[in-house]
Amino acid sequence: MAHYTTDETFLGKLVGYFTTSKLTPLFIGTALILGLFAVLVTPSEEDPQIVVPMVDIIVAVPGASAEEVESQVVKPLERLIWGIDDFPVEYVYSMSHANYGVVTARFYVNSDQQRSLVQLYDKIFNNIDKAPGGGVSFAPGSPMVQVMIKLRDINDVPQVAVTLYSENYGDYDLRRMAQPIADQLAQIPDAAEVDIIGGRPRTLRVILDSQKMAAHMTSPPQIAQVVQAANWSMPAGKFQVNDQELLVDAGTFLQNAREVGNLVVGTFQGRPVYLRDVAEIEDGPGEVDNYVLFGVGPQYQAEEEALGKTIEWPADAHGHTIPGVTITVAKKKGTNSVNAAAAVEQKLAQIRSQLIPEDVHYTFTRNYGFTAGHKADELLFHLGIATVSVILLVGVFLSWRDALVVLIAVPVVLSITLFWSWSIGYTLNRVTLFALIMSIGILVDDPIVDVENIHRHFSMRRLPPIQAIIYAVNEVRPPVILATFTVIVTLMPMAVVGGLMGPYMRPMPVNASAAMLMSLAVALMVTPWCANKFLKHYEPEPITTRRRTDVEESHADYAKQTAYYHFYQRTMGAILDHRGLQWICYLTVMVMMMAAMGLVGTKMVLVKLLPYDNKSEFSVVIDTPEGTTLEDTTRVAMELGDYLRTVNEVSDYQIYAGTASPFNFNGLVRHYFMREGSNVAEIQVNIVDKRFRTEQNHDIATRVRPALHAIADKYGARIKVLEPPPGPPNLSTLVCQIYGGDRESQVAVAKQVHEVFDHTQDVVDVDWYYEDDQAKDTLVVDDEKVNQVGLSKEMVVKTLRMAMAGMDISHLRLSGELAPVPIHLRFPVARRNSVEALKEIRLPTPSGRVISLAELVKVERSVEEKSIYHENLQRVIYVTGDVAGRNASPVYALINMWGPIQEITTPAGRPIKQHLFLQPKTEKDVVVKWDGEWHTTVETFRDMGGAFGIALLVMWVLLVGWFRSFSVPGVIMSPIAFTLVGIMPGHWLTGTWFTATSMMGMIALAGIIVRNSILVVQFAMERREEGMSMRDACIEAGALRTMPIFLTAAAVFVGAFVILLDPIFNGLATSLIWGTGASTLLSLVMVPIYLFNHLQHQEVREKKRTFKEAKQKARLRREQQAAAPPPETPPEEGPVSA
């Protein structure tokens, strides 16, 4: 078959070939199949995964003070970690406390996790001989330094949390039920780690009686040694009998309380002393060290319809909380959270009747799989809406046949892009899908420009259909290719944004750029074929072969037939003919741009990293003063829960007192999973789905905060109302780090900074990393007396430890148990709850007498040491806070606090220096450094601004190479500034924050606007080369390119409109919609003016150059003539004789 073409270049032949090729429909079908495959197999999640390798090194140093841990353990570890070469760490954090220390190494974003961990292991264990005592132990209870190294990963975050609750069962019974359930859930293929939070585990408690032990001459260390020695079994070998081997085991393990009670722990007066004689043996729940409670709010029944979860609540349980136990499930890396959550739901439904009694209920208190699937489905639906809207747009302004071409082109581009996204490891999340939605308005540009030009050529009916298609596509191919690469050049630098925001934002430029490349390919291959199939509905004029000039002449004739051309010609003609009107346009644009930027300076447009999300959860973190009992902390949490139960939007809540709640990514970075102790608690609050409430999550959290603080203040507790962060988490929204000086100076300055935070408007949830005073009694052993009676300090110390904190001395070895059953040695509460009670404990001596601890120890009252924090090897105290109110951005809070903090002086009278970005180089003087969301904001906008600058530079170079001019690119790029005229007023009128996503929209818009300018300038310069006047060329270019420019602008508008519904990316949509509208209107006026003036100046320069050259040539001729010798006169000849 013959393939028609009018262009002998490679791309021209490519267009001609695919216009009639049978491979084109195969390509379309293959692309659609790959897209469907990608949608089905790509893992879905709500937010992109951020790979930030973090490693915790937890070091136990029993008996060491905080300063000893800091100087002898933490500092050497910090220096080792900081010196890693192959995979250097970005941050090293540490906390030194009495008896233990924690060092956290945070590697750079996207570092290889396994190799980072190996490097860390090698560095530590190559220097293990430098540890205090000359070595390290991994065995609990060892007197040596004990080390535990834990890799923290985003996949550790539980995707699903299921809470069991019942009014008829206690926490112990609920935990026993949860263990086989957790065992079943662990069998799910996508499940990585299954944990149980809450409930007392089964424990064999050995409750010692100090008086009976004294009467029978036994001691706690002696009993512990006997139990440990009795719980032994191992293979002893084998016999060979009658040509057969017989295996032999030696010893048996302890199986139950009776066996433990029958152990002989000593002799007294010639009779054996059994453990049951000196202690009570109880097999059952351990002692309470945490509480998990479940409660419901007014909307608990609405959640069944909203999220598909059922909250079965006992009819007589209203008005209070009931015991609960939570099972958490984390998914494996790279698996689909939607599938993992669905598998958990299915498994629970299967085992409900076998493992869960009827009067025990369960509900999903976290289901990130459901929310991820819902979000993905919602965004795919919005993607479909945007696609259909663009197709309808083309159908309305061109024809329904033209819309068919776009109907095929857009899904093909999206399908290939989705497959590409899956192949490079991206997931289906809000960022990748919003990238495609944003791309709808950009990627449709190439097909629209092709279709509009084909449509115009078909309307002229000057060429046969196939020739018209090929000619029309090849006519706009150069500006389309150039415009595509300018958009890509604009987008791709955003992929190099650093910090935690980098991987969060990277799918946007990568996917959008891929979509643009696919769009270009489709415009050259698929669009001509579709046009040939759907638009070939006329018969051309009899003359089927025309010269190029004949076709070009028809352009102007066709354009002049439209009413818009006449309007545009009169308007632009008047402007181009009068210099004064041009200056009025210049000044008007300048005033509009200055007014737009003034909106930021006057706070009419507020700047923030990311706006608040609208998820259906928030948490209340509670810290009561050090020394508060677990029961009192729980009482505070329950009173806070009583208030939350009255909040209309609350569906349910869980109280975790004394233990950590299921953590999210925010909690992973902040290490909330390590929160445990009698003075800590957290309330996880689930609110009704956004479809069933009118207020945003942030508005609800802001509304309940004052009442929660009022309750907490009654008990001296500190609380923080935490919303899920919309992007990468930080230590806090506002973080002020106090470095340098001695400890007293740091604390004094930190107190004053804390007061500034407290008294600054819109700053809430203020806290600092400095504990309250907690009284401590130290029982000092009298070495001389201990030696005199034949005992040892070790025995006295271990006795006190077993008496008070207790000790797991061994385990029952039970084959039917899913968790180890510890044998726990401890005194009863009455015998351990005061110093006087401890002094009554009596120990047997080798001489056969017993001696009271009151004779061996003395009490010294003091205050517990405060924790010492480091960041990047320097001591630091953190003061943290959040922001609420109208100016809820750390930028404005920092501005408001800068002056008051600047007035703070050190105890030595020196003023405080404030650093915005860099950590101080020395610790000589006290220095304040700002961190938190402020640091991420500055880092992100700095990188995006740099990326924008690089994009503009590369774009200018690209345009210089294309147009072979240094000045024409300036004309083309001038409308970029026009976007501000729409973007800033758009944010102001809609009340939208100017955020990082707004900046992304502004950067992406630069490529779109330049694309439109290229179409106008390229068209005008071609007409100019064909001999048309400057004025007419500029007017005709603007008139003929208005329709494709308008269609592409409307496509951007339509594609971005659905993004307005998302609370995070509505800034992106606002920038695209308002920026596109303003810049499109201004560019249709200003670009022809700039181009006309440029061509005029170019013509003037050319005339001057030509005149100068002619003048020089004339002067040279005159000089040459003056210097030349006069011509010789030939001699006269005489008369000729006849």
Q: Give the model confidence (pLDDT) of 250-262 as tens digits.
A: 888 899 999 999 9
Q: Is the pLDDT of residue 21 over 70?
A: yes
User: What is the pLDDT at residue 757?
Assistant: 94
Instruction: Tell me the pLDDT band of 132, cut-offs 50, 70 and 90.
Output: low
User: What is the pLDDT at residue 326?
Assistant: 96
Task: Tell the residue number behind the tokens 């800590």, with chain if given.
Answer: 680
Residue 233: strand, helix, or coil: coil
Amino acid at site 319: G
Out of 3.30.930.10, 3.40.50.300, 1.10.10.10, 1.20.1640.10, the CATH code matching 1-41+398-537 is 1.20.1640.10
3-state secondary structure 144-212: CEEEEEEEECHHHCCCEEEEEECCCCCHHHHHHHHHHHHHHHCCCCCEEEEEEECCCCEEEEEEECHHH
Q: Is the pLDDT of residue 516 over 70?
A: yes
Instruction: Tell me the pLDDT band of 541, cut-offs 50, 70 and 90.
Output: very low
C-beta of residue 1020 within 8 angstroms of C-beta of residue 1036: yes
- Top mean pLDDT of 164-178, 227-241, 407-421 is at 164-178
**How is residue 472 written in tokens?**
């029309």
**CA nearest to 731, candidates 534, 515, 936:** 936
Tell me the per-residue pLDDT of 1067-1124, one tens digit each, with 9 for 90 and over: 888 998 999 888 888 888 888 888 888 877 877 777 777 877 787 878 787 777 777 6
CB proximity list for 437: less than 8 A, separation 6 or greater: 379, 382, 383, 386, 1055, 1056, 1058, 1059
Residue 919: strand, helix, or coil: coil
Residue 1021: strand, helix, or coil: helix
User: What is the pLDDT at residue 313?
Assistant: 62
Region of 885 on the Ramachandran plot (φ > 0 left; ψ -120 to 50 alpha; else beta): left
Mean pLDDT of the chain: 84
The 8-class DSSP code of residue 243 comes to T
High-pLDDT (> 90) share of the chain, %:
29
User: What is the pLDDT at residue 302?
Assistant: 63
Fold of 156-201+288-371+612-725: Alpha-Beta Plaits (3.30.70)
Instruction: Tell me the pLDDT band of 825, cut-offs 50, 70 and 90.
Output: very high
Task: Tell the residue number behind the tokens 């806090």, with chain if given.
Answer: 732
Tell me the per-residue pLDDT of 1119-1138, one tens digit each, with 9 for 90 and over: 777 776 766 666 655 555 43
User: What is the pLDDT at residue 318?
Assistant: 55
How many angstroms separate the CA atoms of 842 and 849, rounded? 10
Instruction: Tell me the pLDDT band of 311, cut-offs 50, 70 and 90.
Output: low
φ/ψ of 93, rounded to 5, equals -110, 155
Fold of 54-152: Alpha-Beta Plaits (3.30.70)
CATH of span 562-604+965-1117: 1.20.1640.10
Amino acid at site 901: I
| Gyration radius of the chain over CA positions | 39
Tell me the per-residue pLDDT of 393-445, one tens digit each, with 9 for 90 and over: 878 877 777 788 888 888 898 899 889 988 888 888 878 877 777 777 677 77
User: What is the pLDDT at residue 1138?
Assistant: 38
pTM: 0.86
Q: Is the pLDDT of residue 202 over 90?
A: yes
C-beta of residue 499 within 8 angstroms of C-beta of residue 51: no
**How is residue 462 written in tokens?**
């000057």
Cα distances (Å, whole numbers) of residue 683 to 333, 660, 1122: 28, 10, 104
More confident residue, 610 or 15: 610
Lowest mean pLDDT among 66-70, 89-93, 483-487: 483-487
User: What is the pLDDT at residue 729?
Assistant: 84
pLDDT (mean) for 288-304: 83
Helix (H) or strand (E) holding 685: strand 680-687
- Top mean pLDDT of 490-499, 621-630, 1004-1013 is at 621-630
How many angstroms separate the CA atoms of 452 and 1044, rounded? 6
pLDDT (mean) for 481-487: 80
Which residues on adjacent β-strands are paired with residue 60?
A: 100, 146
CATH of span 202-285+775-863: 3.30.2090.10
Lowest mean pLDDT among 107-111, 464-468, 527-531, 636-640: 464-468
Residue 820: strand, helix, or coil: coil
Tell me the per-residue pLDDT of 667-688, one tens digit each, with 9 for 90 and over: 988 999 999 999 999 999 999 9
Lowest mean pLDDT among 307-316, 801-810, 950-959, 972-981: 307-316
* Ranges of each domain in the chain: 1-41+398-537, 54-152, 156-201+288-371+612-725, 202-285+775-863, 562-604+965-1117
**How is residue 448 written in tokens?**
């629209």
The answer to whether 54-152 and 156-201+288-371+612-725 have equal CATH topology is: yes
pLDDT (mean) for 338-350: 91
**How is residue 48 written in tokens?**
């992109």
How many residues are listed for the chain in this entry?
1138
Q: Is the pLDDT of residue 565 over 60?
A: yes
Instruction: Tell me the pLDDT band of 1044, cut-offs 50, 70 and 90.
Output: confident
- Burial (Cβ within 10 Å: 0-12, 13-18, ≥19) of residue 496: middle
Instruction: Tell me the pLDDT band of 139, cut-offs 50, 70 and 90.
Output: very low
Instruction: Tell me the pLDDT band of 122, cut-offs 50, 70 and 90.
Output: confident
